[in-house]
């Protein structure tokens, strides 16, 4: 009830656009969304932005080494103003941004379709130390706004502490998160044959989402779709 009331306040009451400061507006007004989140042709497997005119097939990296998830959708590129808003949400102690960011994700046609089709919506779990430092899991906050009736916050587990990914290249990222995730063995039957939406806030190399999807595959998951708010324009190599 409390979460629903906060969502109502965040999405219904007048506020000032945090980008252009127009009043009244949503947290990010429609003109700013149109300006800073134009339609982007993306690889259907990893959501990396593709040059105009190249079609809608998978990118070269995914053709060479497909990720463990079946498809991926991103609402925006990780660039101005979204990078700053994600930073406020994740590092600035402002979990209230989850409602606005999730609303933008829901407006993405492919993401809405994947959420409606999913039988389970699983947030990427944080390591206990990171969760204690931050006070909340940003992926869980997004998931609860995206599809509250389908979220299971304790089915996918983080079983190994890892170094921060930001300073690592792609190969190091993959090694860093290898076997960092597992499905709760006492509840693994919930995963078997299910269509799953895997949620995170930002995708850079995709290493964490890939490792989590591999754990779900080992538990017998059906189709796995990764859904992120923002995707970096260039993957980390």
- Give the pLDDT confidence of 56-98 residue by residue, as tens digits: 688 999 999 999 999 999 999 999 999 999 999 999 989 999 9
Q: What is the pLDDT of residue 1?
A: 47
Lowest mean pLDDT across 30-34, 37-41, 99-103, 161-165: 161-165
How many angstroms separate the first and last alpha carbons of the chain?
Answer: 44
CB 140, CB 196: distance < 8 Å: no
**Residue 32 pLDDT > 60:** yes
What's the average model confidence in pLDDT over 201-223?
A: 94
Q: What percent of the chain has pLDDT over 70?
A: 83
Q: What is the pLDDT of residue 130?
A: 85
Looking at 46-123, which runs of residues are DSSP E strands?
Answer: 71-77, 120-123
Q: What is the pLDDT of residue 168?
A: 55
**Residue 108 pLDDT > 50:** yes
Lowest mean pLDDT across 51-55, 149-153, 168-172: 168-172
What's the average model confidence in pLDDT over 123-143?
A: 92
Q: How far apart are CA 144 and CA 129, in angstroms?
A: 22
Q: Which one is predicted more confidently, 178 or 120?
A: 120
**Residue 182 pLDDT > 90:** yes
Neighbours of 44 (CB within 10 A): 17
Q: What is the pLDDT of residue 179?
A: 78
To which residue do tokens 């965040």 refer?
10
Q: What is the pLDDT of residue 210?
A: 94
**Residue 236 pLDDT > 50:** no
Side-chain half-sphere exposure of 108, counting CA atoms within 13 A: 26
Q: What is the pLDDT of residue 25?
A: 80
pTM to 2 decimal places: 0.87
Q: Which one is predicted more confidently, 6 or 22?
A: 22
| Domains parsed from the chain with CATH numbers | 42-49+61-231 (3.40.50)
To which residue do tokens 């989590």 refer?
212
Q: What percent of the chain has pLDDT over 90?
A: 68
What's the average model confidence in pLDDT over 15-34?
A: 91
CB 100, CB 106: distance < 8 Å: no
């Amino acid at each position: 009830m409390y979460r629903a009331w906060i969502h109502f306040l965040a999405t219904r009451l007048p506020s000032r656009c945090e980008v252009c400061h127009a009043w009244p507006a949503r947290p990010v007004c429609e003109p700013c969304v149109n300006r800073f989140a134009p339609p982007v042709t993306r690889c259907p497997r990893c959501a990396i932005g593709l040059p105009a005119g190249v079609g809608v097939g998978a990118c070269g990296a995914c053709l060479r080494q497909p990720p463990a998830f079946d498809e991926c959708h991103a609402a925006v590129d990780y660039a101005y103003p979204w990078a700053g808003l994600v930073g406020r949400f994740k590092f600035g102690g402002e979990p209230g941004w989850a409602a606005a960011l999730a609303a933008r994700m829901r407006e993405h046609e492919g993401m809405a379709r994947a959420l409606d089709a999913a039988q389970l919506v699983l947030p990427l779990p944080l390591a206990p130390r990171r969760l204690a430092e931050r006070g909340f899991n940003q992926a869980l906050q997004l998931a609860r706004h995206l599809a509250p009736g389908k979220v299971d916050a304790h089915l996918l587990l983080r079983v190994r502490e890892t170094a921060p990914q930001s300073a690592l290249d792609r190969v190091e990222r993959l090694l860093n998160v290898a076997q960092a995730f597992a499905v709760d063995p006492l509840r693994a039957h919930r995963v078997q044959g299910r269509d799953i939406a895997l949620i995170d806030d930002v995708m850079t190399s995709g290493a964490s989402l890939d490792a989590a999807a591999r754990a779900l595959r080992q538990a017998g998951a059906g189709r796995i779709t990764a859904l992120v708010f923002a995707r970096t324009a260039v993957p980390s190599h």
